Amino acid sequence: MTRTVAIIQARMTSTRLPGKVLADLGGRPLLERVLERVRKAARLDDVWVATTTNAEDDPVVALCERLAVPVFRGDEHDVLGRYHACADAARADVIVRITADCPLIDPDVIDRVVFAFQGGDFDYVSNATKRSYPDGLDVETFSRAALERAHAEAAHPDLREHVTLYISARRPHLPHGAFRIGHVTLDEDLSAIQWSVNLPEDLERVRRLWPRLPEDFRWRDVLEAARGDRFLLGLPEGAPDPTVEAR
């Protein structure tokens, strides 16, 4: 039986916003919020966290242990190697990659991407290569065989750091393999919306959004809560507001 495992990469030493994965969001650490959301996805058999062997990430491990979430520790910079070893430990046949800076991640979107992967002849399916979803809802699903190939063949430091670049070929100037790629897209283009947490203002954005959301929210609830507010939508300067144009 095929075993589908989400692996959430998390570390405390983010360059732009150190410690963000344990920053408070509505009374709980941001990583805990991500885990709450991901665990609601129906098409996952398990959820793991992949962190580093650095002492700075001991609090990440402590949180996972408190929440009874399995955790794997590996090299800080070789994230591809960390994912490969974590997939081994989790006995994963299909890997779903999520990052810990996406507290608004939608379990229904996870299920949609996994369903597309399961229903087609693909090595890799994502809603993040042909962008139409808001940033912060990114889901990548790929086979264990694709991960094995990437781990064996990808040597460039950028390919080791970013896990799926060798598979997805999102940066054509870097070496990449030949894989069967699938895309999950919306009928509308909402890709200018920014809901991932990379900078202090991003954290402030999700903190302001959080109390406006219903308990078991989905991303359309977030869109409605942010409608017409450029800061809450995270729109770059000069970008049109898609929530206004859609009316």
Amino acid at 39: R
Would you call 124 helix, strand, or coil by DSSP? strand
18 in any annotated domain: yes
Bridge-based pairing state of the strands 94-99 and 4-9: parallel
Block residue for tokens 């959430």: 8
- Domain coverage including residue 159: 4-196
CA 207 from chain centre, in angstroms, equals 19
Structural domain includes residue 126: yes
Phi and psi, residue 236, nearest 5°: -65, 155
Q: Are 49 and 60 in contact (CB under 8 A)?
A: yes
Classify residue 10: in a domain, yes or no. yes
- Would residue 192 count as lying in a domain? yes
Query: How many domains, the chain?
Result: 1
The amino acid at residue 167 is I
- Domain presence at residue 50: yes
The pair of three-digit structure tokens given for residue 72, joined into one six-digit string: 């794997």
CATH code, domain with 42: 3.90.550.10
pLDDT in single tens digits along all 247 residues of the chain: 899 999 999 999 998 999 999 999 999 999 999 999 999 999 999 999 999 999 999 999 999 999 999 999 999 999 999 999 999 999 999 999 999 999 999 999 999 999 999 999 999 999 999 999 999 999 999 999 999 999 999 999 999 999 999 999 888 888 899 999 999 999 999 999 999 999 999 999 999 999 999 999 999 999 999 999 999 999 998 889 998 854 4
| pTM as predicted | 0.96
